[in-house]
Amino acid sequence: MEYTLEEVMETVRMTLYHNFDIRTVTLGINLKDCIHSDLETFRSNIYEKVTEYGKRLVLEAGRLEDKYGIPVINKRISVTPVSLIAEANPEALPKIAKTLDRAARDAGIDFIGGYGALVQKGMTRADAKLIDSLPEVLSSTERVCAFLNIASTASGMNMDAVIRLGRVLKEIASRTENGVGCTKFAVFSNAPEDNPFMAGAFHGIGEPDISLNIGISGPGVVRSVVEKNRECDLTELSEVIKRTAFKITRAGELIGRELAANMDIPFGIVDISLASTTKVGDSVAGIVELMGIEKMGAPGSTAALAILIDAVKKGGAMASGNVGGLSGTFIPVSEDSGMNEAVKCGALSIEKLEALTAVCSVGLDMIAIPGNTPAETISAIIADELSIGVVNGKTTGVRLIPVPGKIAGDYVNFGGLLGETYVMNVSSFSSRDFILRGGRMPSPITGMRN
């Protein structure tokens, strides 16, 4: 695919004036071939493989930044779901996590994902041990990110796992300042195996030994074109956004393919998500408000977000034959200044966020809730959100942070890219008796596609 001079110059303008960047290059690594009966040899195999490829990723990504002038914000690694490689020795899970953390640090990798399990239909002994280890692991490591897939359209939802998660999240929060350990853990329905974005990234069992996935982000670029087209109707606005997403994706595809070629590894996918940051002008909520919504969360917000995500996906799909991952629009509360402002002024509630997630990617993301929220209520919020994914055949996820000592309306700062936010109010009405029934939520009739 050839790139014209005009496209190159337009990419330069997007980078200089509208915060365009490659949000992440994520190297997927298969660790199944590292398994060994001797634990220390097993850990050594993991360390050597992760550091070898991680250092190469950092080096080659830096060279491409210098060559094209497009920032590559995060260099990340995702690995085989760790519960799968620890089946023979689940007691070693915390030691494996610390090995991953040390390898990521020594290689210069920002985050390493894959400490997790696929438990949508049931749990093995290793899966259960991994879930129990999450408080220890996420409070004692710096770069390790964890995930669980506990629901799918084909399998339904593992409600026994849902019950455990409420208690686990509260314990993670109690062990870390402001509950920040919870920001490194995501729970999913229909989790994609090639997701480059943390905290939910993992290298799926259907992937090759090594692959490179790239996550691009351009809310600032999209915001600028929406701002210039205040008077057009929604059909025309959709076309403008679609063309912009096409240009962003073309640039990302160029970087991803060249980086994979330089590392002599297969190129995986481009994730065309609009991922907001704490930077001014880098807000998805800001785009929605420029579309004509006074404040994110007001009536019409869901429709506006649906138009935005549809246009982004259509434009990205036209620009690349390798679109994957989450691909859509993220609405993380603490990482998006516009979302945070909407929470502060009362325009946005958890209930409205849940409605928004029916049309966006990810789901209830980076939401601070009172530290005294009952574990069963946390489990119920997770079940509500993931059921949207199960019934509608889409990926949804949850990152909740029960902040110790904080109540609704309090301010909390998680630091860096994780941002800052206000603690959201949670209903005081109980879901305990429903959640503690356990079992498995049956898959919907739409799951019987064969």
360-381: pLDDT as tens digits? 877 899 999 999 999 999 999 9
| Mean pLDDT of all residues in 381-404 | 94
CATH of the domain at 286: 3.20.70.20
- Longest pairwise C-alpha distance within the chain: 67
User: Most confidently modeled of 57-66, 137-146, 250-259, 414-423?
Assistant: 137-146
| Mean pLDDT of all residues in 384-411 | 94
The DSSP-derived string for 259-299 is: HHHHHTS-EEEEE--B---SSTT--HHHHHHHTT-SSTTST
Q: How confident is the model at residue 265 (pLDDT cuts 50, 70, 90)?
A: very high
Is residue 210 classed as helix, strand or coil in its secondary structure?
strand
The count of other CB atoms within 10 Å of the CB of residue 154 is: 17
Expressed in percent and rounded to 5, the helix, strand and coil fractions of the chain are 50, 20, 35
Q: How confident is the model at residue 17 (pLDDT cuts 50, 70, 90)?
A: very low
7 pLDDT more than 60:
no
- Pair of tokens at residue 231: 């008077």
**Whether 424 contacts 134, CB under 8 Å:** no
Long-range interactions of 293-297: CB distance < 8 A, separation 24+: 295/341, 295/342, 295/345, 295/347, 295/348, 296/338, 296/339, 296/341, 296/342, 296/347, 296/348, 297/342, 297/347, 297/348, 297/349, 297/352
The sign of the CA dihedral 308, 312, 318, 321 is negative
pTM over cut 0.85? yes
pLDDT of residue 5: 46
- Pair of tokens at residue 92: 């070693």
Domain span at residue 396?
1-450
Mean pLDDT of the chain: 89
Tally of domains within the chain: 1
134-186: pLDDT as tens digits? 999 999 999 999 999 999 999 999 999 999 999 999 999 999 999 999 999 99
